[in-house]
């Protein structure tokens, strides 16, 4: 149990006798709450104990125990460790009260748990499927749900070359594809469910305008140049003003978690690259951190590895923010020229990644207890040149061209405002939270790695609009350069891996939540181990996904053209949003 949890343990138990019990399973932490008392408990936790930031909500299917469990990770927005609480519910009829009323940031995460695990949340305002489509058969993350290409529960699978002849998974399926239908399904007698649930309440939204005018419903996406991938927004417009907006996602839902639960621990690292494909290094770090927590202190990374981890993470942050700024300007209509400036610098950072990790984007570089390989000759000098000479100048150049630009200011200032209270309530993280005046950065609030050793400021701005989100990113690049300069100066010689690299390791049973400050915000990995070679539960708390919860709040009342830049200012990556 974390220190902060211990400090309030007595108070919690005294405040809620009977219905709150410490979770005493080996390797687990936090408290088990009675479902009936959940709302009352969460309200008290937020208002009396100060845990006002709900970071992650997810479900776990404990099939052998015939139970479903919903796990909540809460933090104080002033910093410190997690307070974890859980609710158990019978597996046949899983149902727990919704926390949307207390933490609006739970909305999408609860919908995801409903979609993938079939856990019903009583009192949820809009409990629809979120990643799969309405009408899809079954809840795929349940342990007894088998996909069409199912081979066995855990990898590595048997050889697909059993008799000296290769076969493909789809050749085994009568439909020659990745599909499976329920018994007796007849497409002729079936009508599609369509999107009636999505459009419900979208037509004719009540407004307090004196003159009644017709409203129209507009779809932006999934194929739209401004959506940064395959994202869709359904908006009800009154003239050009958005009166209601609903994000629709799942067009890039690649079943990361289901695949992750079949993989061995090591096999998951390259999959984390493909979550946020603009910043694969930090995604590696989050996952590695969660598993290292399970493995215990004997796998602590050596000094040199810790430094290189920080260096790579900060270069990733710079390259991600460059891309975010370039894309935001694209959305503003400055088509591709600012992007070219941003990509020019990003290429130089990618060169470093390619030389070190072997790939430009999918780095697959961090390992449990260290790194995959050391820096090759010549890379250190290149890094120094970038961090001390080139990048500071180039960032100033970007700043000079864009920050004072009249069009940028006119379009961005006062658009998509999120107040600090709303930002915390909606579980916004990263630059979105910090632009709203909340100086919360995991690197400072709950330090990991060796970030405590470096001198840097948490970038914060106070207006909560699109312009401030742009400025926060620019500030963060400058702070990252500061960290890089210190880390490169202090980089020690030595090993880069604790012990010998291993293909499979025994991960003790238990749960762990590892979180890092990824460029897009707090990226968390919730891993449950049952002691076998594969994780029992593997959940990603994706910042792009949860930041979108506040999207409709930010867009309502603004013009439809502003929705595009508000989305751009959140800086989403669909690989992470949909997973």
Partner 1 sequence: MPEELNSKGYDIPPEMQSLVAITTLDKIYNWGRRYSVWPMMFGLACCAIEMICTAAARFDFSRFGMEIMRPSPRQADLMLVSGTVTKKMVPQIVRLYNQMPEPKYVVAMGACACGGGPFKEGYNVVSGIDKFLPVDVYIPGCPPTPQALLFGLMKVQEMIDTQSLKEVRWYQKGELPAIPVPILGPDLIDPRDYPEFAEKLAKAQAEVTEPEGA
Residues that bind partner 1 (CB under 8 A): 131-133, 135-137, 140, 147-151, 169-170, 173-188, 190, 192, 222-225, 229-230, 250-256, 258-259, 262, 270-271, 274, 277-278, 336, 339-340, 343-344, 347, 360-362, 574-575
Closer to partner 1 by Cβ: residue 8 or 259: 259
Give the helix/strand (H/E) hosting 511: strand 510-518
Residue 557 Cβ, how far from partner 1 at the closest point, in Å?
27
Q: Concatenate the DSSP letters of all residues of 325-355 into one string.
A: HHHHHHHHT--SHHHHHHHHHHHHHHHHHHH
Closer to partner 1 by Cβ: residue 17 or 184: 184
Strand 31-33 to 83-90 pairing: parallel
370 CA to centre of own chain: 23
Q: Which of helix, strand or coil describes residue 308?
A: helix
Closer to partner 1 by Cβ: residue 252 or 505: 252
Closer to partner 1 by Cβ: residue 205 or 343: 343
The C-alpha atoms of residue 159 and residue 430 are separated, in whole angstroms, by: 43
Residue 480 Cβ, how far from partner 1 at the closest point, in Å?
20
Sequence length of the chain is 579
Residue 112 Cβ, how far from partner 1 at the closest point, in Å?
13
Could you tell me which residues come within 8 angstroms of residue 378 by beta carbon, excluding any fewer than 6 positions away? 355
Tell me the backbone φ, ψ of residue 555, rounded to 5 degrees. -85, -30
The C-alpha atoms of residue 169 and residue 67 are separated, in whole angstroms, by: 32
The C-alpha atoms of residue 111 and residue 127 are separated, in whole angstroms, by: 6
Residue 465 Cβ, how far from partner 1 at the closest point, in Å?
27
Residue 245 Cβ, how far from partner 1 at the closest point, in Å?
20
Closer to partner 1 by Cβ: residue 162 or 378: 162
Q: Which of helix, strand or coil describes residue 566?
A: helix
Give residue 165's region: left, alpha or beta (phi > 0; psi -120 to 50).
beta
Q: What is the DSSP letter of 559?
A: B
Q: Which of helix, strand or coil describes residue 77?
A: coil
Closer to partner 1 by Cβ: residue 185 or 462: 185
Closer to partner 1 by Cβ: residue 17 or 192: 192
Could you tell me which residues come within 8 angstroms of residue 218 by beta carbon, excluding any fewer than 6 positions away? 234, 235, 236, 237, 560
Residue 11 Cβ, how far from partner 1 at the closest point, in Å?
44
Closer to partner 1 by Cβ: residue 46 or 246: 246
């Amino acid at each position: 149990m974390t220190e902060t949890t211990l400090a309030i343990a007595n108070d919690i138990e005294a405040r809620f006798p009977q219905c709150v019990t410490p979770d005493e399973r080996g390797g687990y932490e936090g408290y088990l709450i009675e479902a009936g008392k959940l709302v009352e408990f969460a309200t008290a936790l937020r208002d009396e104990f100060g845990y006002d930031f709900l970071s992650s909500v997810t479900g776990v299917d404990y099939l052998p125990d015939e139970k479903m469990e919903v796990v909540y990770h809460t933090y104080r927005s002033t910093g410190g460790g997690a307070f974890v609480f859980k609710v158990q519910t019978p597996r046949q009829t899983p149902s727990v009260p919704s926390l949307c009323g207390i933490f609006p940031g739970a909305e999408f995460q609860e919908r995801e748990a409903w979609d993938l695990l079939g856990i019903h949340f009583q009192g949820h305002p809009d409990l629809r499927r979120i990643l799969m489509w309405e009408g899809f058969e079954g809840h795929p993350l349940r342990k007894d749900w088998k996909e069409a290409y199912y081979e066995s529960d855990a990898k590595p699978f048997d050889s697909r070359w059993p008799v000296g002849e290769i076969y493909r998974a789809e050749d085994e399926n009568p439909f020659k594809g990745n599909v499976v239908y329920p018994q007796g399904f007849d497409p002729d007698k079936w009508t599609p469910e369509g999107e009636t649930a999505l459009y419900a309440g979208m037509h004719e939204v009540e407004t307090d305008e004196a003159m009644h005018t017709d409203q129209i419903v507009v779809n932006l996406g999934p194929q739209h140049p401004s959506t940064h991938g395959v994202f869709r927004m359904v908006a009800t417009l009154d003239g050009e003003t958005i009166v209601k907006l609903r994000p629709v996602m799942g067009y890039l839902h690649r079943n990361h978690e289901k695949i992750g639960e079949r993989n061995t621990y090591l096999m998951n690292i390259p999959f984390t690259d493909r979550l946020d494909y603009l910043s694969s290094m930090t995604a590696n770090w989050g996952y590695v951190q969660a598993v290292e927590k399970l493995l215990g202190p004997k796998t602590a990374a050596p000094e040199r590895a810790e430094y290189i981890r920080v260096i790579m993470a900060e270069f990733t942050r710079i390259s991600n923010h460059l891309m975010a700024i370039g894309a935001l300007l694209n959305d503003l209509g400055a088509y591709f020229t600012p992007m070219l400036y941003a990509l020019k610098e990003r290429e130089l950072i990618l060169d470093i990644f390619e030389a070190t990790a072997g790939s430009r984007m999918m780095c697959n570089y961090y390992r449990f207890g260290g790194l995959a390989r050391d820096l090759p000759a010549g890379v250190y000098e290149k890094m120094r040149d970038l961090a001390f000479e080139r990048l500071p100048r180039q960032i100033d150049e970007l700043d000079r061209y864009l920050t004072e630009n009249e069009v940028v200011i006119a379009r961005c200032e006062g658009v998509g405002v999120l107040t600090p209270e709303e930002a915390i309530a909606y579980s916004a993280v990263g630059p979105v939270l910090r632009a709203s005046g909340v100086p919360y950065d995991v690197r400072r609030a709950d330090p990991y790695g060796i970030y405590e050793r470096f001198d840097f400021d948490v970038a914060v701005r106070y207006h909560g609009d699109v312009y401030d989100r742009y400025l926060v990113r620019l500030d963060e690049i400058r702070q990252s350069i500061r960290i890089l300069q210190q880390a490169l100066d202090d980089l020690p010689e030595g090993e880069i891996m604790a012990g010998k690299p291993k293909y499979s390791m025994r991960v003790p049973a238990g749960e762990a939540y590892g979180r890092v400050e990824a460029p897009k915000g707090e990226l968390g990995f919730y891993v449950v181990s049952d002691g076998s070679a594969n994780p029992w539960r593997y959940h990603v708390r994706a910042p792009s996904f949860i930041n979108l919860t506040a999207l409709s709040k930010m867009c309502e009342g603004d013009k439809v053209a502003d929705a595009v830049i508000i989305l751009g200012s959140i800086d989403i990556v669909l690989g992470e949003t949909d997973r």
